[in-house]
Structure formats: structure tokens, C-alpha cells
Amino acid sequence: MKYTPFWHDTAPAFAKAQEGPVSGKIDLAVIGGGFTGLNAARRLARAGVSVALLEADHIGAGGSGRNGGHLNNGMAHGYAEAKSHLGAARAHALYKAYDRSIDMIEDLIAEEDIDCDFRRSGKLKLASKPSHVAGLRRGFELIHKEVDPDTRWLEKADLAVEIGSDEFHGAVLYGKSAMMHMGRYATGLADAAHRHGALIWEGAPVVARDRFGSGWTLKTPKGTLNADRVIVATGAYSGSYSDSVAKAPLAYFRKRIISVGSFIVATRPLTPDEVAATLPGNRTCVTSMNIGNYFRLSPDNRLIFGGRARFSATSDQQSDALSGQVLHRAIGRIFPQLAQVQLDYCWGGLVGMTKDRYPRAGEACGMIYGMGYSGHGAQMSTLIGQALADMAMGRKDTNPLDGLDWPAIPLHSGKPWFLPLVGMWFALKDRIS
């Protein structure tokens, strides 16, 4: 079994990174080489802005290359909850922004000729317990009426043609949702940004940020870059926990982002009979539990199956292996026919959560930022990357999160010591729901 993301292992590496030291003076510096940062750099370069992107590891190394491969529309919350928290107008606009971002991804893939297996698959939100059916159906009825007519309610009897499992009791089908190969998309975005004129350095973490006239000096182990403006697109990867928060160049975000591990396994390729018995509908699927699972088929028919198997902020081989065992058991529970299936890949990654689980994009501490997608970044980050580029060029009307307050989390300095308690709380809620 490989302890590396399937998306990394089966995509070409970005081959056009800058080989020399980090140096120079440019208009815009982008920190972070995931979907947000890459699309911001691509849009700026296309507009003739001199832009450089600094990635601490390699392109797509963080959340953009460590997710389940879903592009699901809808929000992390129930739509009624979003209306209560955000107000009806903003909740409606944010829901539509997820739709618009998936449309943008589809258009961008065609425009830049990116080969990444994009497909409008539709998503199933599955009721894991009989007691979940009524609430899930009420949420569907509100969404269908007010914001997304391309949804449909499926009774338990309707699920036989969609999923080979008796574990679920109904579902909402979201027709706009999609899937793609995340690694190939990341490399394709980087190639496009480079082709339009962006400079991209890999292995260049920003270790210090200082004022330089009216702009900034960004220091990396590979050298120093001077920029008039800075875009931050780092999310859960906004610096090491061992860094002094007071001295960390991205301290503002460390105090507002909770980094939570999410873990995924991929089976060997399934046979045609196994596919027909497991996911004949070939959609993205998510369950209704608080500590739930998400799954889909890969382009080569592996079952890619993930979840918050353990409430941990650590993703290394030891942690990933322990989580992989939990996920393997969950596969056997949901799909007994695959209980003994071989796992070829096991990996983890960090999800950048905000306290209220709504993403944020705006300006703070002299920087433009977009992050906090709370598990829904693959679908939203492309649109936010474009919005950040627009903000840098003086336009704010494309940012669906403009003006959304983002207070620091009390007693949180970056290392989420409270995660085990959160896990216990959600486990209790799942037991009594």
C-alpha cells in the first residue's frame, strides 16, 4: 500500500517551476500553490500583472491534492441554518457561488485544455439513519424551492440503482455536482498560470514577511522576493505549529483556522461486476452523520473512500495508517461485498476549518486572503482565487464573502488542542441522532 495521495501518484508533476533563487520585484506575490493561489496567479498573469507564486512544497501538495475528488455544490451547513446565521440574501448568494465555481472550473478546463477527467456526476447526500430522513427531506424541500431546482428526493427504494448498500434510508440528489482528478487539475492550472506569465517557485515556504516601502519583502530559504501586494491562500497549511505565533508571518490566519485531519483510502481497481454491485450510479456520495464518510469511483474504478476517521491535526504515515484501518472497517460496514478488498492507497491531509465553517475572503494585515473552506474547498477555491485576483486589481464585487466578519478563536494559537473533545461531542451527537 502506498502512503501517498492517489491524486499525486497518478498525475504528472509540474515541470516548469523556477530553478534559480527566489528574487526580484513584482506587482503581486501569491503564497500557496493550491487551487486558490494557482487561479489567482493565472488570472493576474492573464491581465498583464507581474505575479510570482511561492509554494512551500510542490504544486497541489496541500488540501487541493489531498481531498476526496468531489466538486459538490451546496454548503457544509443546512440551507436553513445558513439563512439563520448569514441572512437570506447572503445565504442565497453563497449557495449560488458554489454552483458558479463548478461552472467556472468546467469552463476553465475547456479554455486551458486541462485533461483531468471532469464529469458532472451529481451528488447523493445519503440518510444514514431512519431518524435522519425527515430532516434531510425538509432541507431538500427548502433548497429545491428557493435556490436549487436541480435537486431531487430519492426514497430508500430508489437507491438500488444508485448504490449497492442497505445502509441508507433516502437521499437528496444534487444534479450540478461533479468530480475530477485533482492532481491533474492542479498541474494543469500551474501550467496555465506559467504559460500566461506567472513565475512559480516550489520548495519556497515564506518564513518572514516585512514591510518594504509601501509593499512587502517575503523571505524564503531560497531567497527574497519584493512585492507591492500579497495574496495568501494557505488555509490549514499556514505555518508549522512549532513556529512562534508572535513571529509567524501568517499569524493572523493561524488564530482563525482550525486544522483538522481528514483521511482517505483507495482500493485496487474494481471489476465491472464489483462496480455494478457497489456504485452503479457513479456519483459522489456523502453520508448524513456528523462523523461521516464520503466516497466515489476514480477514473480507473477504484473506490475512493474518506472521512474524519480520527479527530487529529496530524497527518503522517503512522496517523494515516491508523485512520486507514478505521476507513477499511467502514467500507466493510457500508459495502459488505468489499470487506476484504485490497487497499492500494492511504493518505491524509489537513482541512482548514473556521469556527462557524463558512469560508472567508477579504483583506487583513495588509494582505488579501482566501481560505477556511471547511471541507468544501475543491469546489469553491477556483472562484475565490479569481475573486482575490480581482480584489488585487481593485474590484470587489466578485467576492461572495465580502464583509463577513472573522474574529479570532478564543484560546487558539494554531495547534487545536481541543480536537479530541470535539470528536467526542460529534460522536455523541451521532449516537443519539
Name the grid cell of 169.
434510508
pLDDT band, residue 200 (cuts 50/70/90): very high
Exposed / middle / buried, residue 245 (Cβ in 10 Å: 0-12, 13-18, 19+): middle
Sign of CA dihedral 70, 419, 292, 133: negative
Q: Please give the Cα distance from 264 to 315 (Å, whole number).
A: 11
- Tell me the average pLDDT of the chain: 92
| DSSP-based three-state secondary structure for 283 | coil
Beta bridge partners of 226: 25, 217
Q: What pTM, to 2 d.p., does this model score?
A: 0.94
| pLDDT tens per residue, range 106-125 | 999 999 999 999 999 999 99
Give the per-residue pLDDT at 422: 59
Residue pair 218/212 in contact (Cβ under 8 Å)? The answer is no
Structure confidence by residue, pLDDT tens digits, 123-175 = 999 999 999 999 999 999 999 999 999 999 999 999 999 999 999 999 999 99
Q: Model confidence at 76, in pLDDT bands (50, 70, 90)?
A: confident
- pLDDT range class, residue 208, cuts 50, 70, 90: very high
> Is CATH 3.40.50.2300 what the domain over 6-422 is classified as, yes or no?
no
What proportion of the chain, given as a percentage, has pLDDT over 70? 91
306 has a pLDDT exceeding 70? yes
Residue 287 pLDDT: 96
Cα dist from 90 to 74, 79, 94, 104, whole Å = 14, 11, 6, 20
Residue 26, pLDDT score: 97
Taking Cα atoms as reference points, which of 249, 313, 253 lies closest to residue 54?
249
Per-residue pLDDT tens digits for 326-377: 999 999 999 999 999 999 999 998 888 899 999 999 999 999 999 999 989 9
Check whether 246 has a pLDDT greater than 70: no
Mean pLDDT of 13-30: 97
Rounded CA separation 414/431 (Å):
30
Q: Cβ(283)–Cβ(162) under 8 Å?
A: yes
Extents of the domains making up the chain: 6-422
Provide the β-strand partners of residue 264: 306, 347
CA 404 from chain centre, in angstroms, equals 20
- Burial status of residue 231 (CB atoms within 10 A of its CB: 0-12, 13-18, 19 or more): buried
pLDDT higher than 60, residue 230: yes
